[in-house]
Amino acid sequence: MGTSTDLSIQTNPGLRIHKILGDSMEPRLRSDLDYIMIVPCTSFLCDGMYVIDNGGGLVPYHVDYLFGEGKVRLRLENPRYRGCEFTLEQFEDCVAGRVVAEVKVLDPSAIEQSRRRS
């Protein structure tokens, strides 16, 4: 029996699960362990986390609107990496989706055991 707070990914084709790759969002999201749930979008909607197609794959960024400048700031969680600024047009050219949920893996060994059984 479902509740009103259930997220049914199978009945909502707009939602996609994307595995975090690389250390750009560490320590918040860990490479090869954690996931994000994204919904496709083609423009800036509000401050938040978005997925950008950087030509080599999809990368999550925190995106903030810079009032009065008509730009957005893209930043990563890992302080070793620098952020950048895009015009709204540049952002719309490469945005692939907006992150609506983070999926934290609590027991990596259980996932590994499940993979071995498959």
pLDDT at residue number 54? 87
Strands, DSSP E only, in the chain? 16-19, 35-40, 48-53, 58-66, 71-75, 84-87, 95-103
* Nearest residue to 28 (alpha-carbon basis) of 61, 4, 71, 55: 61
| Angle, vertex CA 73, rays to CA 52 and CA 39, nearest 5 | 35
Joined together, the tokens standing for residue 19 give 């595995």
The 10s digit of each residue's pLDDT in 52-88 is: 998 888 999 999 999 989 999 999 999 999 999 999 9
Mean pLDDT to the nearest integer, 34-60? 93
pTM above 0.95, yes or no: no
Average pLDDT, the chain: 88
Please name each of the domains of the chain with its CATH number. 14-117 (2.10.109.10)
- pLDDT band at residue 1 under the 50/70/90 scheme: very low
Looking up tokens 């890992």 gives 78
Helix locations, 1-118, DSSP H: 88-94, 108-117
